[in-house]
A and B are shown apart, each in its own frame.
Chain A
């Protein structure tokens, strides 16, 4: 697949590959997404706004340039903003692929970093020379101001133009806690929210601190996704319970929503509202317990995003979908096209007590879904 080279979160010609519960694959325009939903279905989106998480500056002990990409935080609490984990790079910028970036200076606990108006101390390395725990000086308000004004959105080498904050915020971006955009949410605009209301399709949100999608280091990438704190509001839990009890589907907009909901499901079923830290990996070994379908960007096989899709459908169907993406000229990465994948019907694989949805019970195929909404 070809990487989307322009930061257009909502291109008019965006495509949607739809994979239904039977593994049937078809092509659609992304603006047709709503036509694959039926009244009573519930879309859940991640309303995290994206931090300008790339902070450039100087490693004071050596005087060498450094880039710290904020990568994690232990909670979403507004005043818990002193300590972050960060992936560090040496000289260079986003025009160089992360894989080819200069190594940062060797960091030791106690080293100080001057990152524009922000000052931070390296507390320790986190099992890898380029992954550190850092602590900012100053009040929470001063730290937020420093990040807001000095930080830049994490850039991608395949995007030619510098990203601005408005490029990486979805239309429902609220609390600034994501490190990279929850990009499946780019499908949302307020016109879609209006249409969902008109058609009786639910919309709810959670807040999940979406982490870095790639670090350019194989050893670090193997540890992705990092732990991600999230908040699941009471109203969202109620909407999910309502949808599922009526036999309707819960459609997660993105891997982060799926990760949060499925993590919450490991703690309590029925779900409970509250804060959590998603630390699990979803893949072929797991079976979604809350999410019936996922809308995701298109990602290459081997990436953690792609791996998560294996929780929804078989390897054979995914391979078929990947071939269709390639043949259809879909664009990949954060500003690319989308897929809608309905969870396949293999309840025996999970061994869990699944609540079949009305659509599953009815055995509706995608073509009938289309007819139902036409």
Chain B
């Protein structure tokens, strides 16, 4: 079994990324894979999962929808089976809610529920189903991390971003409470806002945005990974 080394804390790290076939998730997969992490990724579209897995030999593509309750355990099973356990779980998959974006007063309840299912309940369920694996990693002295990809819409009130913003605000708070409860067990939970990126999700939300003004997903992925590395280094320094 591989173990992370201090020279490259990602080498041998077992990482799962949801929403791994586009945008930030795809960039995270590419960067983690390149740096020697063992990566499993989850996405809904089987053809895209297979295509991305083929482009990243040794990665594990898993077809599934994190917003569906009955898929949490099958996903958890496949992730920990493929990787032989789990060190880092990155909740990246997101739903905007209504597309095009809508004022809250015009937001259908079903669209709001879809945003909550993908952005809040899905991450809660998958973390819960994988907490045994993460706790086992922590007991073995490995860095155990859960990462919530959040948004400035979780903090600032933007008109038209109601379903997304409310769900991301709840996700952010969920992360803080998880972290409070799990740190004594060696599992840390990070909320990371990657900034506005040139991704399919952003294009859906703001179709007329100038891509030149947006962060490249690869840059955002590098920043997310750097924050995870910092968190691991801080743990090692305090050990």
Contact = CB atoms under 8 A, between A and B. Distances in A.
Interface of A: 47, 49, 51-52, 78, 81, 140-141, 144-145, 147-149, 164-166, 169-176, 190, 193-194, 197, 204-205, 207, 233-236
Interface centre among B61, B63, B70, B74 (most CB of A within 10 A): B74
Interface centre among A173, A190, A236 (most CB of B within 10 A): A173
Interface string B65-78: 00000101111111
A201 to B, nearest CB: 14
A233 B131 CA distance: 18
B136 A47 contact: yes
A235 B139 contact: yes
Contacts of B78: 141, 144-145, 148
B69 to A, nearest CB: 9
Contacts of A140: 81-82
B62 interface: yes
Contacts of A172: 131-132, 135-136
Contacts of B210: none
Interface string B42-86: 000000000000000000111100000010111111101111110
17 contacts: A47-B132, A47-B135, A47-B136, A49-B80, A145-B62, A145-B78, A148-B74, A170-B132, A173-B132, A174-B133, A175-B80, A175-B85, A176-B81, A190-B181, A205-B139, A207-B136, A235-B139
B129 A176 contact: no
Contacts of B185: 190, 193
B80 A205 contact: no
A73 B218 CA distance: 41
Given A148-B74, A165-B73, A141 B80 contact: no
B77 A148 contact: yes
A361 B129 CA distance: 42
A274 to B, nearest CB: 11
Contact of B184 (A47, A144, A194, A234): A194
Contact of B140 (A171, A173, A233): A233
A141 to B, nearest CB: 5
Given A171-B132, A193-B185, A144 B77 contact: yes
Q: Is the interface of B mostly helix, strand, loop or mixed?
A: helix
B200 interface: no
A74 to B, nearest CB: 16
B207 interface: no
Interface centre among B61, B62, B72, B84 (most CB of A within 10 A): B84
Contacts of A149: 74
Contact of B135 (A165, A174, A234): A174
B184 A78 contact: no
Contacts of A144: 77-78, 81-82
Contacts of A47: 132, 135-136
Given A141-B60, A169-B73, A235 B140 contact: yes
A147 B181 CA distance: 33
Nearest to A193: B185
Given A49-B133, A190-B185, A207-B136, 20 more contacts: A47-B135, A78-B81, A140-B82, A144-B77, A144-B81, A144-B82, A145-B62, A148-B77, A166-B129, A169-B132, A171-B131, A172-B136, A174-B132, A174-B133, A174-B136, A175-B85, A176-B80, A205-B136, A205-B139, A235-B141
